[in-house]
Amino acid sequence: MCTIGSAVFDISAPEYIIGDPFEIEPQSISSLRSARKRVCIVGEVCSFKCEEARGGGGMFITFGIFDGNATIEVRTRRLEAEDAQEISDTISNGMIVAAVGDVRPDKNSPDMLFYYSAIAKIKRLPREDTAEEKRVELHLHTNMSAMDALISPADAVNTAKRWGHKAVAVTDHANVQGFPEAMIAAEKAEMKVIYGLEAYFVNDSASPLFGEWDRAFSDEVVVFDIETTGLSVVTCKITEIGAVKIRDGKVVDRYSTFVNPECHIPEEITELTSITDDMVKDAPTVREVLPEFLAFVGDDLLVAHNAGFDTGFIRYVAKEQGIEFDSPYLDTVALSRYVNTDLKVHKLDAVAKYFGLGDFNHHRAVDDAEMLGLIYLKMLEKLEKFGIEDYGRLVSEIHANTDPLTLKTYHMIILVKNLTGLKNLYKLVSLSYLKYYRRVPRIPKSELDKLREGLIIGSACEAGELFSAIVDNRSDSDIEDIASYYDYLEIQPIGNNHFMVDEGRVPDEEALRDYNRRIVAIGEKLGKPVVATSDAHFLDPEDEIYRHILLAGMKFKDADKSCPIYFHTTDEMLREFAYLGEKKAHEVVIDNPNAINDMVEEVRPIPKGSFPPHLDGAEEELTEKCWTRAHNMYGDELPEIVSSRLERELGSIIKNGFAVLYVIAEKLVHFSESQGYLVGSRGSVGSSFVATMAGISEVNPLPPHYYCPKCRYSDFSNPDKVGSGFDMPTRNCPVCGEKLAQDGQDIPFETFLGFYGEKSPDIDLNFSGEVQGRVHKFTEELFGSENVFRAGTLGTLADKTAYGFVAKYFESKGESVCRAEADRIISHCVGVKRTTGQHPGGIIVVPREKEVYDFTPIQHPADDPKSDIITTHFAFSYLHDTILKLDELGHDIPTKYKFLEKYSGISVMDVAMNDRTVYELFATTESIGIPQMDVTDKETKMLGLMIGTLGLPEMGTSFIQQVLVDAKPKNFADLMQISGLTHGTDVWLGNAQDLIKNGICDISHVVGTRDGIMLDLIRYGVDKNLSFKIMEMVRKNKKGKPIPEEMVAAMREKEVPEWYIDSLRKIKYMFPKAHAAAYVMSAIRLGWYKVHQPVAFYCAILTVAPEGFDATVVARGRRAVVDTMRDINARWNDATQKEKDLFGAMQFANECMLRNIKFLPVSLEHSHAKEFLPEDGNIRMPFMSLPGVGENAALAIMNAREDEPYFSVEDLQLRAKLNKSVIEILRTNGVLDRLSETAQISMFDLF
């Protein structure tokens, strides 16, 4: 055993993994400040990296060793690939090691580096809960508490499990987004989770009137105010009391006196109140004043502004003097909020001004009381106008009319007891986000009362209602009223509230303990269990720094203040609450939390099973539609291949509940087309022939075939064994002589739904961005807005932002950390919730017989109450296997189609799929009239002119162009394969490309589409279902998880070649063939316009996707365009994203200019706001192509031009409401050249 700071390492059984065994006598890393030989260190491996050495020729490995306190960067010498691999296999992040080696300073930084000679694996003892009887944590924040907490739900669950706790609660701020991860971890660890949250509770049934008082307004009341030496009841004293007695709307008596506080009045208070030490030094003390004042009050109602404060002080001193004080009182702040709804600020002077009551000496009790008296009468007058004339009526009216959005929020813990409670909680969360959101989602008492079944309510922390009432020194009966609403009361460690001492709100820690003692006493009196909770925001004490970084990143002033809110063990808690006595401590730490846990049933936040929607007649409708369409295409007597495929697919689709989705999708396509926008095909659904027949997908997955559009003859023989129907020679119908249509991409249905419907795919559709919103609305109409929701997303703190936060944090502290340490800290900060958003197109469909609350709460994206979009509270990925989704994505291709048709007058659907000149685009620039340049010349490549694919979707990037040049595709099938090979990391480079280069196989046999994987494996003899599973695992493996041993073994058993298995291992993502087919089809279509309708092509592409296009560069001519590209290209890695976009646009513009199509300058008369318009064989650039002229300005210029031409710059600025920067941009770009500055000229003309 050895200790470094608070970290304890077990070195009793070292496992020597690199180098010779050595004696483990570690130094603390922070002590290594200078070069030393043969030092031993221990710690956790972090930030492990294995990189190719610069300039090739070997590898470098770097990692950090973190000993719980400091990190040192470890480097290796230059290594051979095999050695590097061996080390990578032995050492990994999170491993605890001891190492010996030399410490040397880094040449390039102030840090020290460690060069090891030997490494041993050891253990670090984590914090353990060794208590006999364990506590249960009922208040814990996961990293789903936005920018506030760091515990991953899995860590919470696993730590509690390791500690032997029976359960652990997940209680994030206002949301339940930690539930799904907690559920997954809990099921894996067989652990119980108590699901809950920490709500922002508002008491909308609170009234401004405290205590019993239901007389008429005309009865006598005492309006009063006090001045004090500060805000805290405990540490501050009264300096002045002022009061007026009011009866029948008139002041009938007054009381006013200074009070000697018997202490110094702080300067800032004197400044505010103008009450000095001098003024009060001869005044009576509160011991004399209080009885006098209370006698003045008698049995009257007390009225004060923020009365809790004033009565709190009076009550405190009364108690000190052994005088009973329980007068009813009314708070005019609350009353003003209710009466003066048009007022935002309800401070005394603001309200006085509001009623026009003139100036007064604010912050002097005598004057404030007088003024408040007047205000009070005004408010009563106002109420009387509404027929409210007594206090009883007032209270009931207020209850009925309070706006929860204006009330003070209190923290409150809500735990889920059972499934009823879970659903109620989801409803409450939804309400809080959708209806009661202001700054935070609020849960009003009135709603909670309605939905309280199945929920357990706890009093939460210092920001809870109970704790606040105690701090404010509210009356015993008030406090007990509050406490009685809760099912249990919470107390927390002193450290949690220590900030109150620091801020001077309480004198010392003892006062904090007194608060906890008070809560314990209240619990005893009311019979409410009191439980001790951590209010954990991070797991271990040493993790506090990560929270500081988060808070500092959010620019919080007090970010670096210590607040040790870690997950406490039982013993830590028992020690913490020892001051309550051993027995009581045991009760609040162990017994009561366990008792609460015993009330809680185990529930699953997302139900098991899948819940497809139903729609009467959907199955029949789909079936009918498909057969009809099939007969229309392939004849009355369907070829076997067609009918058997239809039957098989329909069976599977209907059985797995997908028919409804098909039917809805079909209606959506119809809807979009009715709006004038074609729909782009996408995704695995193109593997379904039913989708083709239903018109959802234009990909035909049948084998290559001919069919006659006239007589419905068909031929599936495919004698040339081509890979795509589009690649067959053209033929005329042997029956009727008509030219035959050709189609068929040969795709298995199973890519979509699996062999046994074991997959939960979605249906993907590409809609023009211009109709996407309408399509979403239409889906709601089709299936009901109660059942259709946009999927929500969760935005988290990821690498780059975390890096910025960490850098900023240490910079502001004037400290520096080594890269390994920075990376380690970053890795701990990553994953914390920041915001919510909307899924690109995912629309989930809840079956009619269910409610959305059976699956997830709902909310607005980014919590924005003004948004008219409602999203699922849970990210879709967690609902993936439970409910179905339609992916109604936005895409530019359908919009491009629209503009191509508009500018060329040629229908997209008439474009042939087998025009040779179009295929030539993928091999040369000749077919667009640009003489072929040398493809081996770097300049050619830079210009993007090795081939003619610039502007073709997903075919025009440098990378893909290079692959096309190398692979020389000849037909549609080749292009599909290349499409697959060029979409995904480690698919082509370092994988397929090498296999081809090394002659191991040719391009048609490398892994290019995911369907290929399944079919290849089946061909090798691997079980078809396992083949399917391997395909599914390989196709999205972004993190590079290894293929499970049993899968590898099954492949080896069937003699699947090692290179093939290796290839699969590397793949990070892979297209389904259907998607490749759909995208190549659109590339071919756009290519046709590129060859045959160039002006329309360039106009359409630029109009729809103008990113990076800069009219100021293009206007300077082709030279300038090329120079700009050269410049950016020369410093590519330092170029900004904007410059990279500009580069792409300039490639495209250059190609266009080489085809003798000119870009005409932006023109006040001729330019469109955003469209690049064809103009006499050239292209007129739009206003928006000028950087700095945004959509609004551009549209304004165009729209105001409609009425009459602009006759001066002034006229333009006025009519189009342009600001001066836009005018300047227009001026410098010559747009205003022919316009006079003001209307003077025309004025002149009049005379």
Q: Closest distance between DNA and the C-beta of residue 556, in Å?
A: 12
762 binds ligand DGT, rule: CB under 6 A: yes
1137 binds DNA, rule: CB under 7 A: yes
Three-class DSSP labels, 841-876: EEEEECCCCCCHHHCCCEECHHHCCCCCCCEEEEEH
How many Cα atoms are found within 13 Å in the side-chain-facing hemisphere of 342? 2
Question: In angstroms, rounded to a whole number, what is the distance separating the alpha carbons of residues 427 and 425?
Answer: 5
* Complete DSSP assignment for 876-914: GGGTTTTSEEEEEEEEHHHHHHHHHHHHH---GGG--S-
Contact map string, positions 17 to 56, toward DNA, x by CB under 7 A = -------------------------------------x--
Quick one: which segment of 452-460, 728-736, 924-932, 1106-1114 binds Zn ion (CB under 5 A)? 728-736
Looking at the Cβ atoms of 48 and 752, the one nearer to ligand DGT is 752
Residues 1185-1204 that bind DNA (CB under 7 A): 1187-1194
Q: Write 1235-1240 long-range contacts (CB < 8 A, 24+).
A: 1235/1164, 1235/1206, 1235/1207, 1235/1208, 1235/1209, 1236/1207, 1236/1208, 1236/1209, 1237/1208, 1237/1209, 1237/1210, 1238/1208, 1238/1209, 1238/1210, 1239/1207, 1239/1208, 1239/1210, 1239/1211
982 binds DNA, rule: CB under 7 A: yes
Contact residue for Zn ion among 272, 578, 735, 1130 (CB under 5 A): 735
Three-class DSSP labels, 1009-1052: CHHHHHHHHHHHCCCHHHHHHHHHHHHECCCCCCCCHHHHHHHH
683 binds ligand DGT, rule: CB under 6 A: yes
Question: In angstroms, rounded to a whole number, what is the distance separating the alpha carbons of residues 420 and 417?
Answer: 8
Q: Closest distance between Mg ion and the C-beta of residue 1032, in Å?
A: 12
Looking at the Cβ atoms of 732 and 816, the one nearer to Zn ion is 732
Looking at the Cβ atoms of 761 and 861, the one nearer to ligand DGT is 761
Q: Closest distance between DNA and the C-beta of residue 557, in Å?
A: 15
934 binds, among Mg ion, Zn ion, DNA, none (CB under 5 to 8 A by kind): none
Contact residue for DNA among 837, 865, 1021, 1161 (CB under 7 A): 837
Q: Closest distance between DNA and the C-beta of residue 445, in Å?
A: 28
Residues 1066-1105 that bind ligand DGT (CB under 6 A): 1069, 1071-1072, 1075
658 binds ligand DGT, rule: CB under 6 A: no
Task: Output the six-digit token pair for 1190.
Answer: 């945004």
The residue assigned the tokens 């139903």 is 614
Looking at the Cβ atoms of 650 and 889, the one nearer to Mg ion is 889
Longest distance between any two alpha carbons in the chain, whole Å? 120
741 binds Zn ion, rule: CB under 5 A: no
Residues 532-561 that bind DNA (CB under 7 A): 554
Backbone angles phi, psi at 1205, to 5 degrees: -60, 155
887 binds ligand DGT, rule: CB under 6 A: yes
Residues 669-708 that bind DNA (CB under 7 A): 683
Looking at the Cβ atoms of 196 and 841, the one nearer to DNA is 841
Contact map string, positions 875 to 904, toward Mg ion, x by CB under 5 A = ------------x-----------------
**Positive or negative torsion for Cα 983, 985, 987, 988:** positive
- Contact predicate 835/862, CB 8 Å: yes
Q: Closest distance between Zn ion and the C-beta of residue 1139, in Å?
A: 56
* Complete DSSP assignment for 1061-1117: HHHHHH--B---HHHHHHHHHHHHHHHHHHHH-HHHHHHHHHHH--TT--HHHHTT-
Q: Closest distance between DNA and the C-beta of residue 794, in Å?
A: 6
Strand extents, DSSP E, 188-343: 192-202, 209-210, 221-228, 238-247, 250-258, 301-304, 329-331
159 binds, among Zn ion, ligand DGT, Mg ion, none (CB under 5 to 8 A by kind): none
Q: Closest distance between Mg ion and the C-beta of residue 684, in Å?
A: 5
285-315 b/e (C-beta count within 10 Å ≥ 16 → b): ebeebbeebeebbeebbbbbbbbbbbbbbbb
User: If phi over 0 gives left and psi between -120 and 50 gives alpha, with beta otherwise, what is residue 5?
Assistant: left
H or E element that contains 411: strand 410-416
Contact residue for ligand DGT among 364, 682, 891, 1168 (CB under 6 A): 682
Quick one: which segment of 354-362, 390-398, 758-766, 1126-1134 binds ligand DGT (CB under 6 A)? 758-766
Question: In angstroms, rounded to a whole number, what is the distance separating the alpha carbons of residues 1082 and 1072?
Answer: 16
1133 binds, among DNA, ligand DGT, Mg ion, none (CB under 5 to 8 A by kind): DNA
For the chain, helix, strand, coil in percent to 5 are 45, 20, 40
Contact residue for DNA among 599, 798, 930, 935 (CB under 7 A): 798
711 binds, among ligand DGT, Zn ion, DNA, none (CB under 5 to 8 A by kind): Zn ion
Contact residue for DNA among 178, 441, 704, 842 (CB under 7 A): 842
708 binds, among DNA, Zn ion, Mg ion, none (CB under 5 to 8 A by kind): Zn ion
Looking at the Cβ atoms of 63 and 752, the one nearer to ligand DGT is 752
Quick one: which segment of 14-22, 557-565, 919-927, 983-991 binds DNA (CB under 7 A)? 983-991
Question: In angstroms, rounded to a whole number, what is the distance separating the alpha carbons of residues 878 and 753?
Answer: 19
**Four-CA torsion 592, 593, 598, 600, nearest 10 degrees:** 130
What is the rounded end-to-end Cα distance, in angstroms, of the chain? 103
730 binds Zn ion, rule: CB under 5 A: no
By CB under 6 A, how many residues form the interface with ligand DGT? 13
User: What are the catalytic residues?
Assistant: 363
Question: In angstroms, rounded to a whole number, what is the distance separating the alpha carbons of residues 365 and 725?
Answer: 92
H or E element that contains 121: strand 112-125
Q: Closest distance between ligand DGT and the C-beta of residue 750, in Å?
A: 11
Contact map string, positions 990 to 1029, toward DNA, x by CB under 7 A = x---------------------------------------
Contact map string, positions 671 to 690, toward Mg ion, x by CB under 5 A = ------------xx------
Q: Closest distance between DNA and the C-beta of residue 145, in Å?
A: 15
How many C-beta atoms surround the C-beta of residue 948 within 10 A?
A: 30
Question: In angstroms, rounded to a whole number, what is the distance separating the alpha carbons of residues 1000 and 417?
Answer: 62
936 binds DNA, rule: CB under 7 A: no
Looking at the Cβ atoms of 204 and 863, the one nearer to DNA is 863
Contact residue for DNA among 625, 834, 848, 1054 (CB under 7 A): 834
Contact residue for Mg ion among 572, 762, 863, 1151 (CB under 5 A): 762
Distances (CA, A) of 252 to 97, 223, 389, 631, 1102: 83, 11, 20, 97, 80
**Positive or negative torsion for Cα 837, 839, 842, 844:** negative
Q: Closest distance between ligand DGT and the C-beta of residue 988, in Å?
A: 13
Residues 862-901 that bind DNA (CB under 7 A): 862, 864, 867, 875-877, 887, 889-893
983 binds ligand DGT, rule: CB under 6 A: yes
Task: Output the six-digit token pair for 1048.
Answer: 């590898």
633 binds Zn ion, rule: CB under 5 A: no
- Contact predicate 1062/1042, CB 8 Å: no
Residues 696-715 that bind Zn ion (CB under 5 A): 708, 710-711, 713
Q: Which residues of this chain interact with Zn ion, rule CB under 5 A? A: 708, 710-711, 713, 733, 735-736, 738
Residues that bind ligand DGT (CB under 6 A): 682-684, 752, 761-762, 764, 887, 983, 1069, 1071-1072, 1075
**Contacting residues toward Mg ion, per CB under 5 A:** 683-684, 762, 764, 887
